[in-house]
């Protein structure tokens, strides 16, 4: 089967946009907690910072996802979001004032909030029900390929200039500008848009949960429960730092994780289309439990590689798959709202997760924190096992195959 046949031009371009954006993000992500610690941030305050940032991202995703549905326009939101993120990231490494760092990090996440609902709606509308897994998997694969490139840049630079975090922040502006430029190669005329013709305020987002399908509520409820125990990756990086690994080794392991993610995202998406999105999500959660239990009980460089292999499988089996599942139980005309509502709620849980992890780390230690998270994940798998096979919300204007119009 020709996989490329199911990838439209718009999906290709948006995947390249994500690739360059993630080069910027991952040049900085593994050094961010190390940089924050170097200027005086405690683990608890890093957790609070990340929690607030993710809350801003998610709540804005809800608002702007709905706004893109009301406007019947996606790309202006995509362009503005990537531009704001590209501007905000370098600033974090230039300033050292905690409040200004919080504002810059919030600007970065606000940019993500503006673009994500609109972008994911485009990806969903550019394919069919039976091919959602591979399209979202392809996008995640390209995104994570960018992450690998960004991490390799960070690794090379830190090898020759250990501890010089600020220069990387400045260099990160280059791929960010390329990412923004690529968004102008897609216009709303090029993509499938189901305009929401209802006259309503964007605050109607608050009522979407009541209007959504039963299947939507079930899957989102389970994902939110899991999110409460899915704290920032910063804690994984700090755990390796605590166990004595140097910056170069930490970044190397994080590169390995992203390589696993990039290589397996598309194949697992294809498999998910065959065995079911639910089955693939459960496989991912099993890998996540293995990651956290392993981080709690194992020690040394090689075990960390094994744990982050499991983490790569988890990300590939859940990130795009969960969005594909949500899109298949949502109406085509309000996909931005469906994604935005989920991501908005998820952001609140991510905020609580990061703060909770920081508090638990401070009180009971890293090992006990990781062990508890792993065991709770195993319990949550039972919930997903009880759900019926995902259905599909079919409307008269659902496009049977946008690539064959």
What digits encode the pLDDT tens for the residues 55-109? 776 677 767 877 777 777 788 899 999 999 888 888 877 777 777 887 888 888 8
Q: Has residue 134 been placed in a domain?
A: yes
* pLDDT category of residue 44 using cuts at 50, 70 and 90: confident
Cβ-proximal residues to 65 (8 Å cutoff; 6+ apart), any chain? 116, 117, 118, 121, 205, 336, 337, 338, 339, 340, 341, 343, 344
Identify whether the C-beta of residue 120 lies closer than 8 Å to the C-beta of residue 323.
yes
Decide which of 74 and 23 is more confident.
Answer: 23
Stronger pLDDT, 192 or 164, i.e. the higher one: 164
Q: Is 110 inside a domain boundary?
A: yes
The reported pLDDT for the residue numbered 209 is 78
Residue 366 is predicted with a pLDDT of: 87
Q: Is residue 70 part of a domain?
A: yes
Q: Are 226 and 384 in contact (CB under 8 A)?
A: no
Kindly report which listed range (72-86, 187-201, 353-367) carries the lowest average pLDDT score. 187-201
Could you give the CA distance from residue 198 to residue 201 in angstroms, rounded to a whole number? 9
pLDDT at 204 over 60: no
Angle at 146 between CA 284 and CA 82, to 5 degrees: 100
- The answer as to whether 212 is a domain residue is yes
Residue 18 lies in a domain: yes
**What mean pLDDT is reported for the chain?**
81
What CATH number is given to the structural domain containing 114? 1.20.1250.20
Check pLDDT > 50 for residue 397. Answer: no
Domain with 136, as residue range(s), is 13-184+208-391
Q: What's residue 403's pLDDT?
A: 33
pLDDT given for residue 401 in this prediction: 37
Range of 151-155, 245-249, 293-297, 355-359 with top mean pLDDT = 293-297
pLDDT at 1: 45
Rounded-to-integer distance, Cα 303 and Cα 344, Å:
35
Q: Model's pTM, two decimal places?
A: 0.69
Tell me how many domains the chain contains. 1
Task: Check residue 202 and give its pLDDT.
Answer: 46
Q: What is the pLDDT of residue 45?
A: 80
Interhelix angle for 98-125 vs 335-364, to 10°?
Answer: 140
What is residue 191's predicted lDDT score, i.e. its pLDDT?
Answer: 59
pLDDT of residue 162: 82
Q: Is residue 113 part of a domain?
A: yes
Examine residue 405 and state whether it is found in any structural domain, yes or no: no
144 domain-assigned: yes
pLDDT reading at 175 higher than 70? yes
Q: What is the mean pLDDT of residues 137-159?
A: 85
């Amino acid at each position: 089967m020709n996989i490329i046949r199911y990838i439209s031009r718009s999906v290709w371009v948006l995947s390249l946009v994500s690739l360059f954006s993630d080069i910027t993000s991952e040049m900085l992500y593994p050094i961010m907690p190390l940089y924050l610690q170097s200027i005086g941030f405690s683990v608890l305050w890093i957790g609070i910072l990340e929690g607030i940032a993710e809350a801003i991202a998610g709540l804005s995703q809800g608002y702007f996802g709905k706004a893109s549905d009301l406007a019947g326009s996606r790309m202006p939101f995509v362009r503005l979001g990537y531009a704001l993120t590209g501007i905000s990231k370098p600033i974090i490494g230039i300033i050292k004032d905690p409040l200004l760092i919080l504002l810059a990090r919030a600007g970065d996440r606000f940019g993500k909030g503006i673009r994500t609902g609109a972008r994911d709606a485009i990806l969903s509308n550019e394919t069919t029900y039976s091919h959602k897994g591979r399209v979202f998997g392809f996008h995640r694969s390209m995104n994570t390929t960018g992450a690998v490139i960004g991490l390799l840049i960070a690794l090379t630079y830190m090898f020759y200039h250990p501890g010089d975090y600020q220069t990387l922040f400045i260099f990160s502006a280059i791929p960010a500008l390329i990412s923004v430029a690529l968004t102008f190669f897609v216009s709303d005329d090029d993509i499938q848009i189901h305009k929401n013709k209802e006259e309503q305020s964007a605050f109607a987002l608050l009522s979407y949960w009541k209007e959504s399908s039963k299947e939507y509520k079930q899957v989102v409820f389970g994902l939110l429960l899991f999110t409460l125990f899915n704290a920032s990756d910063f804690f994984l990086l700090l755990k390796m730092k605590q166990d004595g690994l140097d910056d170069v080794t930490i970044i190397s392991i994080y590169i390995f994780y992203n390589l696993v993610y990039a290589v397996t995202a598309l194949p697992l998406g294809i498999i998910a289309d065959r065995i079911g999105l639910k089955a693939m999500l459960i496989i991912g959660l099993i890998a996540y439990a293995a990651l956290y239990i392993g981080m709690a009980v194992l020690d040394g460089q090689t075990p960390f590689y094994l744990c982050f292999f499991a983490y790569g499988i988890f990300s590939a089996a859940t990130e795009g798959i969960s969005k594909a599942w949500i899109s298949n139980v949502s109406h085509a005309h309000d996909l931005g709202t469906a994604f935005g509502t989920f991501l908005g709620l998820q952001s609140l849980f991510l905020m609580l997760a990061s703060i909770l992890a920081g508090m638990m780390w401070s009180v009971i230690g890293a090992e006990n924190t990781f062990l508890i998270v792993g065991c709770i994940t195993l319990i949550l798998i039972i919930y997903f096992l009880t759900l019926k096979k995902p259905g599909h919300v079919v409307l008269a204007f659902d496009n049977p195959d946008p690539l064959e119009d």
